[in-house]
Amino acid sequence: MFRYLKKYWVFALLAPLFMIGEVLMDLVQPRLMSTIIDEGVLGLSNQGVGDLKLIIVTGLQMIGLVAIGGTCGVLCGVFTNLCSQNFGNDMRKAAFRKIMALSFEQTDQFSTGSLITRVTNDITQIQNMVSQCIRGFVRNIMLFAGGIASMMLLDISFGVVVACALPFLVICVAFFLAKVTPLFRVLQKKLDRVNSVMQENVAGSRVVKAYVKEEYEKKRFGDANEDLVGTQLRILTLSAYMTPVMNIVLNLSVVAVIYIGGIRVEQGDVTPGSVMAAITYLSQILHSVMMFAMVFQTISRGTASYRRVKEVMDCVPVIADGEAAMMSGEAATVNAEAALADEKAGPTHGKAPRKGPKGAAGGRVEFRNVSFAYPGSSGEAVLNHVNLTIEPGETLAILGATGSGKSSLVNLIPRFYDVTEGQVLVDGVDVKDWKLTELRDTVAIALQKSELFSTTIRKNLLWGDSEATEEELEKAAKDAQAAEFIHAKSEGYDTMVAEKGMSLSGGQKQRLSITRALLKNAKILIFDDSTSALDLKTEAKLYEALRTHYKDVTKIMIAQRIASVKGANRIAVLDNGNIVACDSHENLMKSCEIYQDIYRSQLKAGTEVSADE
């Protein structure tokens, strides 16, 4: 944490300095005020005749000092904010950068929701903590120490009162904090619960209505709500007791000071003015104790948040560039620089090397004895000793039951996860030895769940290739069978994709994400069941386009429909993490029982087809 603060040490130092200025002025002020009253208005040393001149002179002095104090206060705020917010900004950026470098098994472990809170809320909490530490902490210590010192200077006996009151107050505060702090955590949980019931009902309204569960849901919500309100009430009640108890301690001390002060005045050791001043200091001291409680709360919340953020920061990405790639990585940087220089010379030059599958013959994928289990799962293998080679330009289809490991298999190619055993090779090089960015540039994948971002259709598609021309865009969209519906939109490519692509149908989303993948112009193209929402005709057209326009690209398709996979060079049939067969449709029909079974399940009767054919 101090690493991030170091950069702003000047601010962190200046802020408390100005704070000292502000507090000093605050401490001087009561004294001037009492001079005005005692001498100016009451004329104590002048037989009760006030001195107007003194009032105005001291008054102006006081306003001046307060103005200086105020300026100090504002400046302190300026520096505190410069420090804490810049610090927060750095930390937020670092955290986000880190998240963007995590491997999937890590993001899976954290869960997306928690990662989001860590970058947003938690960082804000830490930021608050820093600003509270700089400002609140320093200010209260000063007020506290200054107050006690001033009071002792007035008369030692007043110190005794403070000494008696303080422990009470500290115990009260500690008790309160100990009670309330855990409750806040409970409160957050209950709040999440209420929100999640709410969210489920809004998003799942069709199911709620279809099963006539309105009353049940109302009750479910009512319970969660009741729970939340109960906890909230407990916190509020505790706080309700807190304030009066504190006040009573404070007021008792005031009474005690007056009483003792009275005795001391009678003895002639103290003046009445100092009794008044003592009261002011007393309330200052006790207030600062209460403020400490708040500062403490912010700090404890901040440290909890810090721990959560640190957890992310300390994560070392499990999947990182391979060592063998390090050298070629340097070469790549040189290349990139060269490309950059080219770009300056002329856009067409700069783009040329990026276009077209790099290295005409590349795109070979090989699985060597691959086994895989999801990290953090109970260890049950999803894939068992898979051996499979896909040649450049080949079309391989993968077929298999739900949960047979199809997605897991293709996820290993761009190294979203690491194999538990065996090797995955792309163009003869173990993916672990590839530079990650290059590996992923080589592979284009259209995911099962098409993830689109809330920006224009064009910008979404350009993720595939940020420098694509209008023609390239149009061509890819046409191949993906998306051009037609995009043009049907009034704003065409500039139509906004609403949050989570809600304004698009499932099939449209899939076609957009396919367009994006095509635009990437990679050597290996993977469709992870990404045509499931397309109707048959559209799907057929898409495959036709793939066959003619992407001849050299290695195509790996996960699908459910035999029709989708029939034309593939080979079809791998996956069952329980094993490849049971891998051959052409015709051969599989002859030899593979499972395949025949799948085939039959998609037809009413096998004979009918042959009749038709």
Partner 1 sequence: MSEPNKQSAQMSAQPIRMPGGRGPRNMMQQVEKPKEGKKTLGRLIRYFQKEKKLVIGLLVVVVVQVLCSVYAPNLQSKAIDRITEGEFDLLSKVLISMLIVYAIAGLATLFQSLLSAHLSQRMVKRMREDLFGKIVNLPIKYLDSHPHGDIMSRMTNDVENISNTVSQSLSSLVSGVLTIIGTVAMMVWHCWQLAILSCVTVVLTVFATKFLSGKMRTFFRKRQVLLGSLNGTVEEMVTGYKTVVAYNHQDEVIQEFEDTSDQLTKVGIIAEIFGGSMGPVMNVINNIGFVIIAAFGGYFAINGMISIGVISAFIVYAKQFGRPINEIAQLYGQIQTAIAGAERVFAIMDEPEEDKGGSKDMEKAKGVISFRNVNFSYVPGKQVLYDFDLDIYAGHKVALVGATGSGKTTVVNLLMRFYDIDSGEILIDGVNIKDIDCNELRRNTAIVLQDTVLFSDTIRSNLKYSNPQASDEAMIEAAKMSNSHTMITRLAKGYDTELTESGQNLSQGQRQLLSIGRAFLADPKILILDEATSSVDTRTEKHIQDAMVRLMKDRTSVIIAHRLSTIQDADFIVVMDQGRIVETGNHEELIEKKGRYYELYMTQFAGNAI
CA dihedral 194, 197, 199, 203 (to 10 degrees): -170
Tell me how crowded residue 353 is: count the other CB atoms within 10 A of its CB.
12
| Closer residue to partner 1, CB minimum distance, 102 or 285 | 102
Binding mask 352-381 for partner 1 (x = CB under 8 A): --------------------------x-x-
| Closer residue to partner 1, CB minimum distance, 82 or 180 | 82
How many residues bind partner 1, per CB under 8 A?
189
- Cβ proximity of 137 and 239 under 8 Å: no
Q: Which of 10, 13, 17, 56 binds partner 1 (CB under 8 A)?
A: 56
Phi, psi of 83 (to 5 degrees): -70, -55
Query: Looking only at residues 482 through 541 of this chain, which bind partner 1 when binding is defined by CB under 8 A?
Result: 485, 488, 498-500, 502-508, 513, 516, 520, 529, 532-540
Tell me the HSE value of 300 on the side-chain side, using a 13 A CA sphere.
13
| Closer residue to partner 1, CB minimum distance, 141 or 533 | 533
Helices (H) and strands (E) in the chain, counts: 24, 10
The least CB distance from residue 493 to partner 1, in Å, is: 16
Neighbouring residues of 313: CB distance < 8 A, sequence distance ≥ 6: 94, 95, 98
* Cα 491 to Cα 514: distance, rounded to the nearest angstrom: 20
Q: Which of 269, 337, 593, 597 binds partner 1 (CB under 8 A)?
A: 597
| Closer residue to partner 1, CB minimum distance, 289 or 439 | 439
| Closer residue to partner 1, CB minimum distance, 346 or 484 | 484
Q: Which listed range, 46-54, 160-168, 302-310, 324-332, lies at the site for partner 1 (CB under 8 A)?
A: 46-54
Token pair for 31: 């004294």
Exposed, middle or buried, 96 (CB in 10 Å: 0-12/13-18/19+)? middle
The least CB distance from residue 314 to partner 1, in Å, is: 18
Query: Looking only at residues 183 through 242 of this chain, which bind partner 1 when binding is defined by CB under 8 A?
Result: 191-192, 194-196, 198-214, 216-218, 221-222, 225-226, 229, 232-233, 236-237, 239-241
The least CB distance from residue 446 to partner 1, in Å, is: 9
Query: Looking only at residues 423 through 442 of this chain, which bind partner 1 when binding is defined by CB under 8 A?
Result: 437, 440-441
| Closer residue to partner 1, CB minimum distance, 345 or 605 | 605
Q: Which of 81, 300, 328, 456 binds partner 1 (CB under 8 A)?
A: 81
* Cα 542 to Cα 377: distance, rounded to the nearest angstrom: 37
Identify which of 414, 412, 409, 422 has the alpha carbon closest to the alpha carbon of residue 383. Answer: 409
3-state SS string for 567-604: CCCEEEEEECCEEEEEECHHHHHHHCHHHHHHHHHCCC
| Closer residue to partner 1, CB minimum distance, 368 or 540 | 540
Q: Which of 9, 13, 46, 97 binds partner 1 (CB under 8 A)?
A: 97
Binding mask 383-412 for partner 1 (x = CB under 8 A): ------------x-x-xxxxxx--x-----
Query: Looking only at residues 301 through 330 of this chain, which bind partner 1 when binding is defined by CB under 8 A?
Result: none
Exposed, middle or buried, 1 (CB in 10 Å: 0-12/13-18/19+)? middle
The least CB distance from residue 308 to partner 1, in Å, is: 15
Q: Which of 414, 419, 523, 581 binds partner 1 (CB under 8 A)?
A: 414
- Cβ proximity of 282 and 161 under 8 Å: yes
The least CB distance from residue 7 to partner 1, in Å, is: 13
Q: Which of 10, 13, 41, 340 binds partner 1 (CB under 8 A)?
A: 41
Binding mask 442-461 for partner 1 (x = CB under 8 A): -xxx-xxx-xxxx-------
Query: Looking only at residues 263 through 292 of this chain, which bind partner 1 when binding is defined by CB under 8 A?
Result: 263, 265-266, 272, 275-276, 279
The least CB distance from residue 378 to partner 1, in Å, is: 6
The least CB distance from residue 264 to partner 1, in Å, is: 9
In 36-137, alpha helices (H): 52-99, 104-110, 112-117, 123-131
Token pair for 378: 């109970």
CA dihedral 475, 478, 484, 488 (to 10 degrees): -30
Q: Is 469 in the site for partner 1 (CB under 8 A)?
A: no
Q: Is 164 in the site for partner 1 (CB under 8 A)?
A: no
Q: Is 560 in the site for partner 1 (CB under 8 A)?
A: yes
Exposed, middle or buried, 400 (CB in 10 Å: 0-12/13-18/19+)? buried
* Cα 257 to Cα 26: distance, rounded to the nearest angstrom: 21
DSSP code at position 270: S
The least CB distance from residue 288 to partner 1, in Å, is: 16
The least CB distance from residue 439 to partner 1, in Å, is: 9
| Closer residue to partner 1, CB minimum distance, 210 or 345 | 210
Task: Please tell me whether residue 311 adopts helix, strand or coil conformation.
Answer: helix
Q: Is 609 in the site for partner 1 (CB under 8 A)?
A: yes
Neighbouring residues of 62: CB distance < 8 A, sequence distance ≥ 6: 29, 32, 33, 36
What strands lie across the sheet with 383-390, from one edge to the other?
Answer: 383-390, 365-372, 421-426, 429-430
Task: Please tell me whether residue 450 adopts helix, strand or coil conformation.
Answer: coil
Q: Is 93 in the site for partner 1 (CB under 8 A)?
A: yes
The least CB distance from residue 77 to partner 1, in Å, is: 3
Q: Which of 5, 23, 115, 476 binds partner 1 (CB under 8 A)?
A: 115
Token pair for 397: 């289809």
